[in-house]
């Protein structure tokens, strides 16, 4: 007789009370639906300045692309290392806040680290911030910490597109 398939909590090693798992079930449907459910995906080209996965510094191997995916009310920022490891910072896009007049802040409640298509979601607390480190540049900086103190971070800098002036009105 084949062994029964382990529960979702067992497969992802989440040590949460059963009521918490029940509350997270709708979130899990959105998170694990895969890229086919994405409503918007934007690939940014630039420079990855920092990548830390569970305390391991992979900054030297970080790739020069960053994916920003929005699916329903969830948003994620996805970093990739040269060896195929990935790190996604995910949060509820509708909860975006502002730290200052020009710096939006995206709360993060989940990180997903993986390699070769396998991913391990981890509950985490953190945020992604957006700033202008130099004229014509935008920085996306994500930081989160998981239970047990595991640290995750990524910083990506991309060139901004110049705002196009409206065409002059015909006289």
Q: What is the pLDDT along the chain (171 residues), one digit of tens a residue?
A: 444 444 333 333 333 333 333 333 333 333 444 444 448 889 999 999 999 999 999 999 999 999 999 888 889 999 999 999 999 999 986 666 665 655 678 999 999 999 876 777 899 999 999 888 888 899 999 999 999 999 999 999 998 765 555 556 555
Nearest to 50 by CA among 133, 106, 162: 133
- The answer to whether position 45 is within a domain reads yes
pTM metric for this prediction: 0.68
- The answer to whether position 30 is within a domain reads no
Please give the residue range of the domain that contains residue 127: 37-159
Neighbours of 8 (CB within 10 A): 13
CB crowding 126-145: b at 16 or more within 10 Å, else e: bbbbebeeeeeebbbbbbbb
Domain count for the chain: 1
- The answer to whether position 20 is within a domain reads no
d(C-alpha 148, C-alpha 81), whole Å: 24
Listed in sequence order, the residues at least 6 apart from 82 whose beta carbon sits closer than 8 Å to its beta carbon are 61, 62, 63
CA angle 98, 100, 106 (to 5 degrees): 30
- The answer to whether position 13 is within a domain reads no
- The answer to whether position 171 is within a domain reads no
């Amino acid at each position: 007789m084949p062994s029964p398939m382990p529960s979702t909590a067992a497969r992802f090693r989440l040590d949460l009370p059963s009521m918490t798992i029940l509350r997270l079930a709708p979130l899990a449907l959105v998170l694990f639906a895969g890229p086919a459910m994405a409503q918007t995906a934007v690939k940014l080209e630039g420079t990855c300045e920092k990548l830390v996965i569970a305390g391991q510094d992979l900054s030297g191997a970080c790739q020069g692309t960053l994916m920003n995916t929005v699916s329903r009310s969830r948003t994620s920022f996805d970093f990739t290392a040269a060896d195929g490891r990935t790190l996604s910072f995910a949060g509820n896009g509708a909860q975006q806040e502002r730290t200052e007049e020009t710096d939006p802040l995206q709360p993060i409640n989940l990180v997903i680290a993986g390699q070769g298509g396998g991913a391990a979601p981890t509950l985490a607390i953190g945020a992604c911030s957006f700033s202008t480190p130099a004229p014509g540049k935008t920085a996306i900086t994500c930081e989160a910490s998981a239970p047990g103190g595991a640290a995750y971070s990524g910083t990506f800098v991309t060139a901004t597109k110049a705002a196009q002036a409206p065409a002059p009105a015909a006289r």
